[in-house]
Amino acid sequence: MELKILSPQEGGFVKEIRWNNEELKAEIAERMQEYKSLAFTEETIKEAKADRAKLNKLRTAFEDERKRIKKLCMAPYDEFEKQVKELIALIDEPIRLIDGQIKEVEEQRKIEKKGKVLEFYEGVIGPLKGVLPFEKVFRPEYLNATKSMKSITEEIQSLINRVNSDLDTIEGFGSKYELQIKDAYLKTLDLSTAMQEKARLEEVERRLAERKQEEQRRAEEKAAREAAEALSKSQTEQEGDTQSAHPEVQVEKPEGEKKTAQQPEKQEAQMFQMDFRVWGTKDQIMGLRQYLIENKIKFGKVE
């Protein structure tokens, strides 16, 4: 089958459309030069519109003739194009049929190859099957005809060995967050991602511990302040009760005794003051209070 163009031959195609191009170009250029020097005013605007209409009419005449000639030139080509497309349509039909059969054969080959990959996976995956399913191991490029089973099995075996090693490394950390770290690892199969998750969880734990210690410290300070206030209040109440129970009694000495030698006054012990803060349980704070009372040590709230 050979496509043969009978008519026109190479020399028969229209190579040039001859017309009075140069003559018209010179005449029109000269006429257009006149318009460049014109200056229309309000009084001559009517003439300007008339000239514009003439120029538009001339332009339309040229455009119409161009389209007519193009149609004449294209007519044989348009018919030729239509005939060729009819032939192409006849050829396309068996091409589609062949393509369909080729795709069926290729699809069957891919199904069989995927089955072989699955069979190898089942034979080597072992206890990792629960955390490393086939869908995560399989890659679409394994079904390419250029991808050999040898290279596929080597890649899968290498992946399984790496995952086993990485999981052993994670277990070796002995971290309380082992499950969370493994979960982060199995999402990406990247050990560095698991290490980042481990560091993140430990940092969260450290911050929580610091916050708990701070809250405990504040609670202890509050308890100490409340205990000190209770001690001060109790001491004040006790001193008031003592003064009420033992009112001061003044006894007037006999006249004779007033004239005896003056008895030396009892010298009081020197008093010291110390401010400090204590921490302890409720029982310890109350024991300290009792000790101060029994030893007659004055105490009170620090302002």
Tell me the per-residue pLDDT of 189-234, one tens digit each, with 9 for 90 and over.
889 988 998 899 989 999 999 999 999 888 888 888 888 887 777 6
Residue 246 lies in a domain: no
More confident residue, 280 or 66: 66
- Give the domain range for residue 91: 33-106
Residue 78 lies in a domain: yes
Residue 2, by phi and psi: left (phi above 0), alpha (psi -120 to 50) or beta?
beta
- Tens of pLDDT, residue by residue over 236-250, are 766 665 555 444 444
- Tens of pLDDT, residue by residue over 80-102, are 999 999 999 999 999 999 999 99
Residue 37 lies in a domain: yes
Residue 70 lies in a domain: yes
The answer on pLDDT for 126 being more than 60 is: yes
Q: What is the DSSP string of 78-113?
A: HHHHHHHHHHHHHHHHHHHHHHHHHHHHHHHHHHHH
The total of structural domains in the chain comes to 1
Quote the pLDDT of residue 150: 95
Residue 68 lies in a domain: yes
Residue 269 lies in a domain: no
Q: Token pair for residue 262?
A: 């003056």
Q: Please report where in the chains the tokens 């994670």 appear, as a residue.
A: 170
Q: Of 196, 191, 199, whose CA–CA distance to 170 is shortest? A: 191
Residue 41 lies in a domain: yes
Residue type, 198: K
Residue 90 lies in a domain: yes
Query: Poorest-confidence range of 124-128, 143-147, 236-240, 283-287?
Result: 236-240
- Tens of pLDDT, residue by residue over 26-46, are 888 888 887 777 787 888 888
How are the residues of the chain apportioned to helix, strand and coil, as percentages rounded to the nearest 5? 70, 0, 30
Q: Enter the pTM of the model.
A: 0.48
Q: Of 146, 136, 233, 237, whose CA–CA distance to 188 is shortest? A: 136
Quote the pLDDT of residue 135: 93
Are the C-beta atoms of 117 and 152 separated by less than 8 Å? yes
Cα 217 from Cα 211, distance rounded (Å): 10
